[in-house]
A and B are shown apart, each in its own frame.
Chain A
Amino acid sequence: MANLTFIVFCPLVAALVIALLPRTFNVLFRLLALGATFLSLVGAVRVFLALEPGAAGLQFEQQASWIAALGIGYHVGVDGLNAGLLLMGALVAFAAVCVSREITERHQVYYVLLLLMAGGILGAFVAFDLFLFYVFHELALVPTFILIGLWGRGEDRNFATFQITLYLSLGALIALAGLIALYVLAGADTFNLPELTRHLAAQPLSARAQSVIFGLLLFGFGVLVSLWPFHTWAPTGYAAAPTAAAMLHAGVLKKFGLYGLIRVALPLLPEGARDWVNLLAWLALGNLLYCGLVAMRQRDLNLLIGNSSVAHMGFAFLGIASLSVVGVTGTVVVMIAHGLLAALSFAVSGYLHRNLGTVNLDQLGGLLRAMPFLGGVMVMAMFAGCGLPGFANFPGEALTLFGAWPAHRTVVILAAWGALVIAAVYMLRAVRALWHGPLPERWRDVRDARGAWVRLPFVLLLGALVIFGCAPRLLTDQIRPVVARLVEPGAKVGAATVLAEAAPAPRFTAQPPALPGQEVAW
Chain B
Amino acid sequence: MNAFLTWLVLLAPAGAAVVITLTALRRPATAARWSIGAILVAFAASLVLFRAGATGETAVVWLDLPGLRVDFGLRLDPLSLLMLLVVTGVGSAIHIYSWGYMRGDPGLPRYFAGLSLFSFAMLGIVLATNLLQLFVFWELVGVSSYLLIGFWYERPAAADAAKKAFLTNRVGDFGFLLGIILVWSVLGTLNLAELSAKLRAAPPAWGAAATAAGLLVFCGAVGKSAQFPLHVWLPDAMEGPTPVSALIHAATMVAAGVYLLCRLFFLLNAPALEVIAWTGGLTALLAALLALQQNDIKRILAYSTLSQLGYMVMAVGLSGAGGHPAPAMYHLTTHAFFKALLFLAAGAVIHALHHEQDIWKMGGLARKLPVTFWTFLAGTLALCGAPPFSGFFSKDTILTLAWEREHYALLALGVGVAALTAFYMFRLVLVAFTGPAKSQAPDHAHEAPPVMTVPLVALAVPTLLAGFWGIDRGYARQYGAEAAAAHGWAAHLFEPFAHAPMAAWGGLLAAAAGFVAAWTLYRRAVSDPLPGLLGAPARWLRDRLYFDELYAALIAATQDLLARVVAAVDRWVLAAGLVRGTAGVFELTGRLLRHVHTGNLQTYALLLAAGAVVLLWWTLAR
CB-CB under 8 A from A383, the residues of chain B are: 143
B139 in contact with A428 (CB, 8 Å): no
CB-CB under 8 A from B173, the residues of chain A are: 420
A294-B567, A390-B140 are known contacts. Are A232 and B575 too (CB-CB below 8 A)?
A: yes
Across the interface, B65 reaches (CB within 8 A) one of A372, A394, A399, A436, namely: A399
A326-B65, A413-B178, A473-B61 are known contacts. Are A394 and B154 too (CB-CB below 8 A)?
A: no
A424 in contact with B150 (CB, 8 Å): no
Across the interface, B564 reaches (CB within 8 A) one of A297, A421, A435, namely: A297
A421 in contact with B159 (CB, 8 Å): no
A473 in contact with B174 (CB, 8 Å): no
Chain A 324-335 per-residue mask, 1 if CB under 8 angstroms from chain B, else 0: 011001000000
Is B105 in the interface zone, CB < 8 Å from A? no
Chain B 548-565 per-residue mask, 1 if CB under 8 angstroms from chain A, else 0: 000000000001101110
- Residues in B164-210 with C-beta less than 8 Å from chain A: 166-167, 170-171, 173-174, 177-178, 181-182, 184-185
B67 in contact with A326 (CB, 8 Å): yes
Total B residues in contact with A, Cβ cutoff 8 Å: 51
CB-CB under 8 A from B61, the residues of chain A are: 473
A296-B563, A424-B166 are known contacts. Are A436 and B150 too (CB-CB below 8 A)?
A: yes
Interface residues of B: mostly helix, strand, loop or mixed?
Answer: helix
A437 in contact with B167 (CB, 8 Å): no
B63 in contact with A476 (CB, 8 Å): yes
A300 → B minimal CB distance (Å): 12
A406-B185, A420-B170, A438-B156 are known contacts. Are A432 and B564 too (CB-CB below 8 A)?
A: no
Is B163 in the interface zone, CB < 8 Å from A? yes
| Candidate in A166, A233, A431 with the most chain B CB atoms within 10 angstroms | A431
A424 in contact with B154 (CB, 8 Å): no
B181 in contact with A438 (CB, 8 Å): no
Minimal Cβ-Cβ distance residue in B for A330:
B65
A294 to B139, alpha carbons, bound, how many Å? 25
B212 → A minimal CB distance (Å): 11
Chain A 432-475 per-residue mask, 1 if CB under 8 angstroms from chain B, else 0: 10011111000000000000000000000000000000001100
CB-CB under 8 A from B166, the residues of chain A are: 424, 428
- Residues in A261-303 with C-beta less than 8 Å from chain B: 290-291, 293-294, 296-298
A294 in contact with B170 (CB, 8 Å): no
CB-CB under 8 A from A422, the residues of chain B are: 559
B140 in contact with A389 (CB, 8 Å): yes
CB-CB under 8 A from A424, the residues of chain B are: 166-167, 170
Across the interface, B566 reaches (CB within 8 A) one of A293, A412, A472, namely: A293
CB-CB under 8 A from A291, the residues of chain B are: 570
Minimal Cβ-Cβ distance residue in A for B173:
A420
A232-B570, A428-B166 are known contacts. Are A388 and B143 too (CB-CB below 8 A)?
A: yes
Across the interface, B574 reaches (CB within 8 A) one of A232, A326, A480, namely: A232
CB-CB under 8 A from B66, the residues of chain A are: 325-326, 480, 484
Is A425 in the interface zone, CB < 8 Å from B? yes
- Residues in A220-268 with C-beta less than 8 Å from chain B: 229, 232-233, 236
A437 in contact with B184 (CB, 8 Å): no
A138 to B184, alpha carbons, bound, how many Å? 42
A472 in contact with B177 (CB, 8 Å): no
CB-CB under 8 A from A402, the residues of chain B are: 68, 181, 184
B69 → A minimal CB distance (Å): 11
Minimal Cβ-Cβ distance residue in B for A423:
B170
A476 to B25, alpha carbons, bound, how many Å? 34
A293-B562, A398-B132 are known contacts. Are A473 and B63 too (CB-CB below 8 A)?
A: yes
CB-CB under 8 A from A294, the residues of chain B are: 563, 566-567, 570
Counting residue pairs across A and B whose Cβ atoms lie within 8 Å, the total is 139
Across the interface, A429 reaches (CB within 8 A) one of B65, B67, B146, B163, namely: B163
A149 → B minimal CB distance (Å): 16
A476 to B64, alpha carbons, bound, how many Å? 8
B441 → A minimal CB distance (Å): 25
CB-CB under 8 A from A417, the residues of chain B are: 174
Minimal Cβ-Cβ distance residue in B for A298:
B567
Is B356 in the interface zone, CB < 8 Å from A? no
Interface size of A as a range: 35 or more
A326 in contact with B156 (CB, 8 Å): no
A390 to B64, alpha carbons, bound, how many Å? 17
B153 in contact with A368 (CB, 8 Å): yes
B579 in contact with A401 (CB, 8 Å): no
Is B160 in the interface zone, CB < 8 Å from A? yes
A163 in contact with B579 (CB, 8 Å): yes
CB-CB under 8 A from B139, the residues of chain A are: 388-389, 394
Is A477 in the interface zone, CB < 8 Å from B? yes
Is B136 in the interface zone, CB < 8 Å from A? yes
Across the interface, B156 reaches (CB within 8 A) one of A401, A435, A437, namely: A437
Is A405 in the interface zone, CB < 8 Å from B? yes
B19 → A minimal CB distance (Å): 15
B181 in contact with A236 (CB, 8 Å): no
- Residues in A378-415 with C-beta less than 8 Å from chain B: 383, 386, 388-390, 394-395, 398-399, 401-402, 405-406, 412-413
A421 in contact with B170 (CB, 8 Å): yes
A390 to B136, alpha carbons, bound, how many Å? 8
A432 in contact with B67 (CB, 8 Å): no
Chain A 83-117 per-residue mask, 1 if CB under 8 angstroms from chain B, else 0: 00000000000000000000000000000000000
A421 in contact with B171 (CB, 8 Å): yes
A399 → B minimal CB distance (Å): 7
Is A353 in the interface zone, CB < 8 Å from B? no
A160 → B minimal CB distance (Å): 11
A97 to B223, alpha carbons, bound, how many Å? 44
- Residues in B114-158 with C-beta less than 8 Å from chain A: 132, 135-137, 139-140, 143, 146, 150, 153-154, 156
A394-B136, A401-B177, A402-B181 are known contacts. Are A472 and B143 too (CB-CB below 8 A)?
A: no
Report 23 cross-chain contacts, Cβ distance below 8 Å, ordered by A residue: A159-B580, A229-B574, A229-B578, A325-B65, A329-B65, A389-B135, A389-B136, A389-B137, A394-B136, A398-B177, A399-B65, A402-B68, A412-B178, A420-B173, A421-B167, A422-B559, A424-B170, A428-B166, A428-B167, A432-B159, A437-B154, A476-B65, A480-B65
Spell out B's residues near A (CB within 8 Å).
25, 61-68, 132, 135-137, 139-140, 143, 146, 150, 153-154, 156, 159-160, 162-163, 166-167, 170-171, 173-174, 177-178, 181-182, 184-185, 559-560, 562-564, 566-567, 570, 574-575, 578-580, 583
* Closest 10 A/B residue pairs (Cβ): A436-B159, A297-B567, A389-B136, A293-B563, A293-B566, A436-B153, A296-B563, A232-B575, A420-B174, A428-B163
Q: Other CB < 8 Å A-B pairs besides A398-B132, A412-B181, 14 of them?
A: A229-B574, A229-B578, A290-B566, A293-B566, A294-B563, A296-B560, A325-B65, A369-B154, A405-B182, A416-B177, A424-B166, A425-B167, A436-B162, A473-B63
Spell out A's residues near B (CB within 8 Å).
159, 162-163, 166-167, 229, 232-233, 236, 290-291, 293-294, 296-298, 325-326, 329, 366, 368-369, 372, 383, 386, 388-390, 394-395, 398-399, 401-402, 405-406, 412-413, 416-417, 420-422, 424-425, 428-429, 431-432, 435-439, 472-473, 476-477, 480, 484
